[in-house]
Structure 1
């Protein structure tokens, strides 16, 4: 996904004079040639992530379309105040593109883990959030974000699905169960493990790479009608903090009886290094863990 982001950004810098890129050392080696060609629009501020967002806010005030990029823990967690003040408060937008996801950088320890990034973005105003599940989904999402001035968060990961599904801005049905089947919502790279986990279960599996704004209308259309005392079931599987989208779904389904199981990264600091696969297993987000949780919930 990072390669797709770099190539698309280079193309935007070449062809759209509004595009600017602000870095804080991370991935600067990928943009050396672009910086030579566009020294006024490719800026590396060094290891100063708060300044990176501040500069982006200033560029946006002049009519530029800035892209800022770093690990999620540095570009969101560390810079939250600047996102709140230099972008949100001033009424301007930028495209924040991150790598590292929740635990892609697990071998570097807690400093590089960011499971709460989307929850933090949710406290700001009107952000679009893209969580692609495949590298081939990245270019179109980034190009679309470059065409407007709103705030956009593009969350890249080394965890990928088997196939791209570029038209999943709204909920896309990947596997349809019976008319009374519960609905499983897989966000971004969670689709592949979800499909493995629910093999043989009567569920409808849906996918989105754009959880904000969340396609509540699409979910409502897929929910089976209540059957007596049994409310329709929804299973939400996100690659970041468990329950991040629960409030959005609960508000959108406030007039619809339903049961919700929200799966994602747990809140506990595990104090472990390990690999992304290890963390997925520890948080119950591998196929076996998801199977246990979904089966228990559905009874």
Structure 2
């Protein structure tokens, strides 16, 4: 599945440029060659700014102020972490919309070292208001999210990954941003985010737990979470996120503030793994393999 989400992004964006006159695409060298045909067709709306990520966001803000709908694309650490001040000032503070589409996820480019890893991107962006944050688990979901974002006006972040589920869980039940019930149980609820859904389903096989799928984490679907926990005296929730562990714990706490609850946030650990390795080795090191997840979930819920 490696690279399929990014390939779909290139394909769909190129198509959307032909049908949305105010849509523009901005790159900072990464993936620029993949858009060579689109740049030749739409030279005023497909721009490669070179390795200047702060400028990438600044130009996106300027285009948005001029009435354009910009899509800015790079690897996650270069799209969110490096130009964060420009996101805060040139997009949020100016009260304009834009679409940020990243690749690389937390450690898809593990061989690139720490500079190419970004487990903190969603947590960082969550400090700003008004963002819709999509974490697609399948290329079909990424396409639907991109098409919706292109037709809108708001602030949208789409976090692409090389890891993917076998099917698009997020498109079941008519689309939308809400959580999806993948399995029902009574001992607790596990919220599986994006490309970790299949791993969570494998990890919880035979356990009496509800599994919810989240392809969109901001806004956080508090209503569905509350609904599946309605008949439980004490809500027990496990979050499994493919980025910094605990990123969405405050959203769970806010959703359940009026009732007793416990929450465990699983994800990429706060301690840096100082080895290159493969993405799978990084996932296992952070306890995000199916065996590691199962142990953590059983220990927290006290069930087997």
Structure 1 unmatched runs, 5+: none
The answer to whether the Cα contact below 8 Å between 1:226 and 1:257 also exists between their aligned partners in 2 is no
Match of 1:171 among 179, 189, 201: 179
Match of 1:126 among 101, 105, 130: 130
CA distance in 1, matches of 2:56, 2:45: 13
- Look up the match of 1:25: 29
CA distance in 1, matches of 2:82, 2:27: 14
Alpha-carbon spacing, 1:101–1:202, altered in 2? closer, same or farther (3 Å): same
The answer to whether the Cα contact below 8 Å between 1:168 and 1:209 also exists between their aligned partners in 2 is no
| SS of residue paired to 1:87 | helix
- Look up the match of 2:7: 3
Matched, 1:149 2:157: no
CA distance in 1, matches of 2:150, 2:141: 15
Matched, 1:188 2:194: yes
Match of 2:287 among 275, 279, 284: 284
- Look up the match of 2:209: 203
CA distance in 2, matches of 1:17, 1:64: 9
- Look up the match of 2:251: 248
CA distance in 1, matches of 2:230, 2:301: 14
* TM-score between both structures, scaled by the size of structure 2: 0.95
Match of 2:91 among 54, 62, 87: 87
Deviation (angstroms), 1:226: 4.0
| SS of residue paired to 2:218 | coil
CA RMSD in angstroms, aligned pairs only:
0.9
Map 1:39-54 onto structure 2 (within 5 A): 39-54=43-58
More moved, 161-170 vs 15-24: 161-170
Matched, 1:232 2:235: yes
Query: Would you identify which runs of 4 or more consecutive aligned residues in structure 1 move more than 6 Å?
Result: none
Deviation (angstroms), 1:256: 1.8
The answer to whether the Cα contact below 8 Å between 1:225 and 1:232 also exists between their aligned partners in 2 is no
1:235-275 per-residue CA deviation (whole Å, 9 max, x = no partner) reads 11100000100111111110021111110100111111111
| SS of residue paired to 2:162 | coil
CA distance in 2, matches of 1:238, 1:48: 30
The answer to whether the Cα contact below 8 Å between 2:180 and 2:213 also exists between their aligned partners in 1 is yes
1:188-239 per-residue CA deviation (whole Å, 9 max, x = no partner) reads 0110110010011000111010011010011000004344xxx221111100
Match of 1:275 among 278, 286, 290: 278
CA distance in 2, matches of 1:109, 1:120: 20
Match of 1:140 among 126, 141, 144: 144
CA distance in 2, matches of 1:139, 1:232: 34
CA distance in 2, matches of 1:280, 1:87: 33
The answer to whether the Cα contact below 8 Å between 2:187 and 2:301 also exists between their aligned partners in 1 is no
